[in-house]
Amino acid sequence: MGSVVLVVRLVLADVRRHKAQALMLLLAVAVATATMALGLSLRGVSDALYEQTRAATAGPDVVALSGDTGPDVTAALTALADAPEVVAHHGPYRIVYADLTTRDSISSPVVVHGFAETPGAVNRPLVTSGRWVRNGGTVLERGFATALGVGVGDRVTIAGRSYPVVGIAVTAATSIYPWAAQIGPGGGPSDYTGLAWMTRSDAWALASAQDLPVTTALDLKLRDPARTEAFREAHPVSTVRVTFHSWQFKAQQDMVILRNSRPILVVGGWLLSFLAVTGVAALAAGRAVEQTRRAGLLKAVGATPGLVATVLLTEYLALALAGGALGLTIARLTAPVIASPTASRIGDAAGLTGATVATATVLAVAVAVLSTLRPTLRAMRTATVTALTVTAHRPRHRPWLTALSALLPTPLLLGLRLTARRPGRAVLQACSTATTVIAIVALLAIHVQPERGYGLGDSSALPNLRGEQDRLLMLTVTSLLIALAVVNTITLTWTIAMEARANMAIARTLGATPGQVSAGLSTAQLLPSLPGAVLGVPLGLGLLSLFSARNAVDPPLSWMLGAALATLLATAALTALPARLAARRSVAQTLSAEH
Amino acid sequence: MNVVVRVRGLVKEHGQGQSRVRAVDAVDLEVPQGQTLAVMGPSGCGKSTLLHLLGGLERPTDGEVWLAGRRVDTLTERALARLRRRSIGFVFQAFHLVEELSAAENVELPALLAGCSRREARRRAGDLLERVGLTARARHLPSELSGGQRQRVAIARALVNEPLVVLADEPTGNLDTAATLDVLRIFEDLRAEGQTLVIVTHDERVAASADRLVSMRDGMFVDDTRLAGTGTGWLGGLIGLEG
Amino acid sequence: MQDAVLAMLAKEPSHGYGLRARLRQSLGPLGESMNPGQIYVTLARLEKAGLVVSERAHGLPERPERKVYALTPAGQERVAAWLIEVDWPKPDLAEFHLKLVAAAATRLADPVELVAAQRRELLRRLREAQHALLAEPAGSPAALLLEGIVLRLQADLRWLAACEQAWSKVDREAEDA
């Protein structure tokens, strides 16, 4: 019990003394776990939203679609409705293929479903604003209406006729916008299409007046909703071509828009975790001397190595777990928005699954343990007396580096020697830079992918929502990665500056100018960044090729090299500030402090 | 005789407000070319601060510092750095060698900073290490050297650019008797060659080896004694066979 | 010094000039002022006291510097006793201390000034001893003696520093009063 009190007291005292570092650890872990948890929970949330929409709109278990119309089709579909597994049905109803134009002259393909003014037992679209269809008025599907920027009371032109929008509704009977068409005219492929409802007579009038393509659909409710596949197999329709869309298929279709979101978030989560590890490791390394001394003190007053390790680890673990919890909360709150980029689904995200929570927790613990393992082990192993008198660990001699640096100008020489002194830091910096470049390459790649707009004739008046979503997520993830990398670079530079201050002060007494000293410190960071930036480009392309479509376009080489160069320049700029601050310290003070 | 170091009304204050302390209080000093000057005093008397002011490591609150006829307290950091490179050699109590550089590389460092060629820097470092008796240790890291050896490396480093003046801050403070003697022997050689030296110390032996001794108390000079050329010949008279 | 000369003869009989050379080697610069005659005066006294005997080297005219001196049994005993004798020169600081007290009491002189003057003198001596020490080749026996003198002077100087501090405090208090 006493040792628990001691551990808690020591941990709290340390957190109070290093607030900024504690906050950084917390935020880094939160960002990484949020991204990761979001990526992992997208499917579940998307399914949950579909499920909730389905429940609210009496969504059909199976939609039978025929690319044609006429008595044969009606007969074949009606026969299906009489099947013993069917407990309820809606239709057959007409689907008219037309163009819709808003008053802002945005045009899009649209399918018009001809519905009764009183909805039936199956496929009862949920009106979210306005009212249900009546003659002369149309109801727009919410995802479509949102993309068009149209609300109740606006007028839209469908196939040349003007209709007032009397309501906005959602349905689980079709895929989300822009995949409302499900099949094209005659059963062929479909374009990006929105959904509108009209009364049966209006739909009929529209189709016949303009001689528009029409298909037929039938919504079915099964006794056992799970047996959609069995139903399809049990009822082969031979007379006409009928396509069956099960509710499972539609739920699956909802994920199409998230196809890239998942890898962006999951891979982004890994990269963020990686940066969090490097950043926290840099912090931990910077405090290693202090921690080792503290461990020595604890041992001197009789603490066991186990207790010492507990104190050191508890702090990081507690902060990482708090960060993990924060990240999960963020993921939980943002998941419905991210998982449903269109407004076609309603409902709230279900709670995070146990697997997601477990993964996020493991991630947080891994960040804490991986980044503090070395200092903790060192603190445990170092003999008590050595720990108490430790100032910095002894450098190792690297003759080849010495020989190499002898050929360089003075700032480079100082920088290279500093790099050589801390190979671990150099690796961290290289990894940090490589990760940043990977993210930027991915961002560039996403931006150069060709994409079709959702408007009429692939017009980009209606933006490609999936592309938008991908770009937004990529931009967010990249920004987070860059932010962490920036913090890492500053932390690393500052740590090195603090550790090298004695040497830098000596160099000053020997006549090195502050400029040379800060250039040396910057160089110490830039040198490992260089291979990091160079490696980042092929690594980024490699990572992309794992997830991107076969016809994906690589961004131009000049862009990627430019990105690598810009990263290096940014690193140089970032290191300049702490390096300059460190170089400005009074030489006399530094030297007397080192006595 | 040329005056190498000249100080007029030098004042240095540390701290702010109530806790303001005058570490150096209106000090005047002239050190002619070739003189070895020792500054003695209890710890905290301001002697190290004086040395830092002379070497441009700190800036005076008031007063002037002249080095070889050039006023240096008004120079920019950059210009001061250049000046240190060519005109000043520092020797510290804690040696202050760059731990990751070998002995020879430490000695080369100021030469390289001053723009010497690698070859020239290596030659000078070789000569100086030979002079301080460390040729065999040239490739060792400071951590592999004894305190006395480290201080000899530091002295060699201070000399590599043939400075106008060598400023030594408690050069024997961390050394045992034998190592102190080694350092004193090197200083004695430097004196013989006409190297100007300013040594801050609380070691009477080091102080007595100087040509001139200034005693400092509370930031001020309280005594200025010429030691050189005043041989008393008392040593020979110490021992007689009678009795 | 007589004991030292006796002890040098304990190993083997020697000429007077041999003894002098060995003494000078051991004493370094401290033995410089020893004139050649002194050793013979000492030897003559020792001979008179029955501690050494001299023997003329043959074939040469009878001159003191040609005599070979050797220990008598009494001399041997004296040497043995001298070697085990525990004795140490007394630190003689009382006189200077009393001088300072007197100066302060009579106000005839400033004790701080006296200390400073004494300090300057001791520093000059230290400088001389140190120079002599540095001039000695490595491993010379005289270096060790010089080192002892240097350390003694150093100790004295530290004592003077303490005196200076104490007497300036007395001074200040007197001024304040």
Q: Is the pLDDT of residue A123 over 80?
A: yes
pLDDT per position as a tens digit, C29-83: 877 777 777 888 888 888 888 888 888 766 555 555 578 888 898 888 988 898 8
∠ CA A529-A531-A537, nearest 5°, is 100
C-alpha separations of A537 from A425, A431, A437 in Å: 21, 13, 6
What ipTM does this complex have?
0.83
Give the model's confidence band at B152: pLDDT under 50 very low, under 70 low, under 90 confident, else very high. Answer: very high
What is d(CA A32, CA A48) in angstroms, rounded to the nearest whole number? 24
Closest-approach residue (CA) in chain A for B117 = A407
Residue with tokens 């290596």: B122
Closest-approach residue (CA) in chain B for A501 = B98
Hey, what amino acid is at C58? H
Give the model's confidence band at B8: pLDDT under 50 very low, under 70 low, under 90 confident, else very high. Answer: very high
Closest-approach residue (CA) in chain B for C154 = B204
For residue A428, what are the domain limits?
396-595
What is the Cα B8 distance to its own chain's centre? 20
Number of residues that this document lists for chain C: 177
Q: Is the pLDDT of residue A394 over 60?
A: no
Give the closest-approach CA distance of B133 to chain A in angstroms: 22
Residue A219: inside a domain, yes or no?
yes
Chain A interface includes B99 (CB < 8 A) = yes
Q: Is the pLDDT of residue C98 over 60?
A: yes
Most confident of A126-140, A235-249, A580-594: A126-140
What dihedral do alpha carbons C95, C101, C105, C107 form, nearest 10°? Answer: 80
Query: What integer pLDDT is reported at residue A595 of this predicted model?
Result: 46
What is the mean pLDDT of the segment spanning A558-567?
A: 88
B177, B239, B243 ranked by CB distance to C27: nearest? B239
Query: What integer pLDDT is reported at residue C60 of this predicted model?
Result: 56
Hey, where are the domains in chain C? 2-84, 94-176
The separation between the first and the last C-alpha atoms of chain C, rounded to the nearest angstrom, is 53
Q: Are B4 and B164 in contact (CB under 8 A)?
A: yes
* Chain B with chain C: Cβ pairs closer than 8 A: 82
Taking contacts as CB-CB distances below 8 angstroms, the residues of chain B near A406 are: 105, 118
Backbone CA torsion sign across B151, B227, C133, C88? negative
What is d(CA B211, CA C155) in angstroms, rounded to the nearest whole number? 21
Q: Where are the alpha helices (DSSP H) in chain B?
A: 47-54, 77-87, 103-113, 118-131, 147-159, 177-192, 204-208
Chain B interface includes A187 (CB < 8 A) = no
Hey, what amino acid is at A83? A
C-alpha separations of C139 from B131, B184, C21, C135, C152 in Å: 20, 17, 17, 12, 20
Element (H, E) at A496: helix A465-499
B204, B223, B241 ranked by CB distance to C116: nearest? B223
Taking contacts as CB-CB distances below 8 angstroms, the residues of chain C near B209 are: 127, 130-131
Query: What integer pLDDT is reported at residue B243 of this predicted model?
Result: 38
Cα atoms in the 13 Å half-sphere on the side-chain side of A62: 29
Query: What integer pLDDT is reported at residue A301 of this predicted model?
Result: 67
Q: Quick check: B96 and A591 CB within 8 A?
A: yes
pLDDT per position as a tens digit, B96-120: 887 777 899 889 888 887 888 888 8
Query: What integer pLDDT is reported at residue A349 of this predicted model?
Result: 67
Residue C10 CB coordination number (10 Å): 15
Q: Quick check: B234 and C125 CB within 8 A?
A: yes
Give the closest-approach CA distance of C9 to chain B in angstroms: 16
Taking contacts as CB-CB distances below 8 angstroms, the residues of chain A near B24 are: none
Cα atoms in the 13 Å half-sphere on the side-chain side of A299: 21
Indicate the residue among A240, A265, A283 that finishes a domain. Answer: A240
Q: Is the pLDDT of residue A483 over 50?
A: yes
Q: Is the pLDDT of residue A398 over 60?
A: no
Q: Is the pLDDT of residue A344 over 60?
A: yes
Mode of pairing for the β-strands spanning A194-199 and A242-246: unpaired
Chain B interface includes A113 (CB < 8 A) = no
Give the model's confidence band at B166: pLDDT under 50 very low, under 70 low, under 90 confident, else very high. Answer: very high
- Residue B146, phi-psi category: left (phi > 0), alpha (psi -120 to 50), beta (remainder): beta
B105, B113, B141 ranked by CB distance to A410: nearest? B113
Q: Are A148 and A194 in contact (CB under 8 A)?
A: yes
pLDDT per position as a tens digit, A151-194: 898 889 888 888 999 999 999 888 888 888 888 777 677 778 88
Q: Quick check: A511 and B110 CB within 8 A?
A: yes
Give the closest-approach CA distance of B216 to chain C in angstroms: 12
Backbone CA torsion sign across B94, B96, B101, B102? negative
Give the closest-approach CA distance of A581 to chain B in angstroms: 14
Q: Quick check: C134 and B185 CB within 8 A?
A: yes
Q: Where are the alpha helices (DSSP H) in A304-409?
A: 305-339, 354-381, 384-389, 399-405
What is the mean pLDDT of the segment spanning A101-116?
A: 88
What is d(CA B1, CA B6) in angstroms, rounded to the nearest whole number? 13
Query: What integer pLDDT is reported at residue B125 of this predicted model?
Result: 93
Chain A interface includes B35 (CB < 8 A) = no
What is d(CA A254, CA A52) in angstroms, rounded to the nearest whole number? 13
Give the model's confidence band at A393: pLDDT under 50 very low, under 70 low, under 90 confident, else very high. Answer: very low
What is the mean pLDDT of the segment spanning A415-425?
A: 72
Q: Quick check: B204 and C32 CB within 8 A?
A: no
Percent of chain A whose predicted confidence (pLDDT) is above 90? 4
What is the mean pLDDT of the segment spanning A248-262?
A: 85
Hey, what amino acid is at B217? R
Q: Is the pLDDT of residue A390 over 60?
A: no
Closest-approach residue (CA) in chain C for B215 = C116
- Residue A196, SS3 per DSSP: strand
Residue with tokens 């003057």: C117
Give the closest-approach CA distance of B143 to chain C in angstroms: 27
Phi first, then psi: give them for residue A572, nearest 5 degrees.
-60, -45
What is d(CA B63, CA C21) in angstroms, rounded to the nearest whole number? 59
Number of domains into which chain A is organized? 2
Residue A309: inside a domain, yes or no?
no
Give the model's confidence band at A389: pLDDT under 50 very low, under 70 low, under 90 confident, else very high. Answer: low
Mention the CATH class of domain C2-84.
mainly alpha
Over the Cα atoms of chain C, what is R_g?
23
Give the model's confidence band at B145: pLDDT under 50 very low, under 70 low, under 90 confident, else very high. Answer: very high
C-alpha separations of C48 from A35, B157, C45, C112 in Å: 109, 63, 5, 51
- Cβ-in-10-Å burial (0-12, 13-18, 19+) of B124 comes to buried
Mean predicted lDDT score pLDDT of chain A: 81
A417, A510, A588 ranked by CB distance to B110: nearest? A510
pLDDT per position as a tens digit, B205-236: 899 889 999 999 888 998 898 887 766 667 76
Q: Are A200 and A133 in contact (CB under 8 A)?
A: no
Number of residues that this document lists for chain B: 243
Q: Quick check: C34 and B239 CB within 8 A?
A: yes
Taking contacts as CB-CB distances below 8 angstroms, the residues of chain C near B204 are: 123, 126, 153-154, 157-158
What is the mean pLDDT of the segment spanning A424-449?
A: 85
Chain B interface includes A585 (CB < 8 A) = no
Of the candidates A191, A213, A253, the one whose C-alpha atom is nearest the C-alpha of residue A112 is A213
pLDDT per position as a tens digit, A267-292: 888 888 888 888 888 877 777 667 77
Closest-approach residue (CA) in chain A for B155 = A510
Q: Is the pLDDT of residue A263 over 70?
A: yes
Taking contacts as CB-CB distances below 8 angstroms, the residues of chain B near A402 are: 101-102, 105
Task: Identify the DSSP state of A172.
Answer: S
∠ CA A432-A317-A286, nearest 5°, is 45
Query: What integer pLDDT is reported at residue A277 of this predicted model?
Result: 85
Give the model's confidence band at B242: pLDDT under 50 very low, under 70 low, under 90 confident, else very high. Answer: very low
Percent of chain B whose predicted confidence (pLDDT) is above 90? 43
Mode of pairing for the β-strands spanning B196-201 and B36-40: parallel
- Residue B116, SS3 per DSSP: coil
- Residues of chain B with a CB closer than 8 angstroms to some CB in chain C: 177, 181, 184-185, 188, 204-205, 207-209, 213, 223, 225, 227, 230-243
- Interface-testing mutation among B36, B239, B242, with chain C (most C C-beta atoms within 10 A): B239
Q: Quick check: A511 and B98 CB within 8 A?
A: no
B181, B213, B243 ranked by CB distance to C1: nearest? B243
Assigned token pair, B53: 């002011």
Residue A256: inside a domain, yes or no?
no
Give me the residues of B, 105-164, that contact A with CB < 8 A.
105, 109-110, 112-114, 118, 141, 143, 157, 161
Give the closest-approach CA distance of B234 to chain C in angstroms: 7
Give the model's confidence band at B42: pLDDT under 50 very low, under 70 low, under 90 confident, else very high. Answer: confident
Query: What integer pLDDT is reported at residue B158 of this predicted model?
Result: 92
Percent of chain C whose predicted confidence (pLDDT) is above 90? 11
Closest-approach residue (CA) in chain C for B183 = C134
Q: Quick check: B101 and A586 CB within 8 A?
A: no
Assigned token pair, B156: 């060699």
Give the closest-approach CA distance of A538 to chain B in angstroms: 35
| Contacting partners of chain B (3+ CB pairs under 8 A) | A, C
What is d(CA A74, CA A556) in angstroms, rounded to the nearest whole number? 54
Confidence (pTM): 0.72
Residue A71 CB coordination number (10 Å): 7
Give the closest-approach CA distance of C59 to chain B in angstroms: 31
- Interface-testing mutation among B100, B109, B112, B145, with chain A (most A C-beta atoms within 10 A): B100
**Which residues lie across from C53 on neighbouring strands?**
C70
Mean predicted lDDT score pLDDT of chain B: 87
What is d(CA A46, CA A250) in angstroms, rounded to the nearest whole number? 11
More confident residue, A318 or A71: A318
Mention the CATH class of domain B35-56+76-228.
alpha beta
The separation between the first and the last C-alpha atoms of chain A, rounded to the nearest angstrom, is 41
Taking contacts as CB-CB distances below 8 angstroms, the residues of chain C near B189 are: none
Residue A535: inside a domain, yes or no?
yes
**Which residues lie across from A170 on neighbouring strands?**
A126
Q: Do chains A and B touch (3 or more CB pairs under 8 A)?
A: yes
Q: Quick check: B237 and C33 CB within 8 A?
A: yes
Question: Is the bond into C89 cis (omega within 30 degrees of 0)?
Answer: no
B177, B205, B233 ranked by CB distance to C130: nearest? B205
Mode of pairing for the β-strands spanning A194-199 and B3-14: unpaired
Query: What integer pLDDT is reported at residue A414 of this predicted model?
Result: 67
Lowest mean pLDDT across A74-83, A494-503, A523-532, B49-58:
A494-503
Q: Is the pLDDT of residue B200 over 90?
A: yes
* Chain A with chain B: Cβ pairs closer than 8 A: 92
What is the Cα A562 distance to its own chain's centre? 25
Residues with Cβ within 8 Å of residue A538, at least 6 apart in sequence: none
Indicate the residue among A218, A240, A262 that finishes a domain. Answer: A240
Residues with Cβ within 8 Å of residue C175, at least 6 apart in sequence: none
Taking contacts as CB-CB distances below 8 angstroms, the residues of chain C near B243 are: 1
Q: Quick check: C154 and B205 CB within 8 A?
A: yes
Chain B interface includes A365 (CB < 8 A) = no
Q: Are B214 and B47 in contact (CB under 8 A)?
A: no
Q: Are C117 and C103 in contact (CB under 8 A)?
A: no
Phi first, then psi: give them for residue A108, nearest 5 degrees.
-150, 150
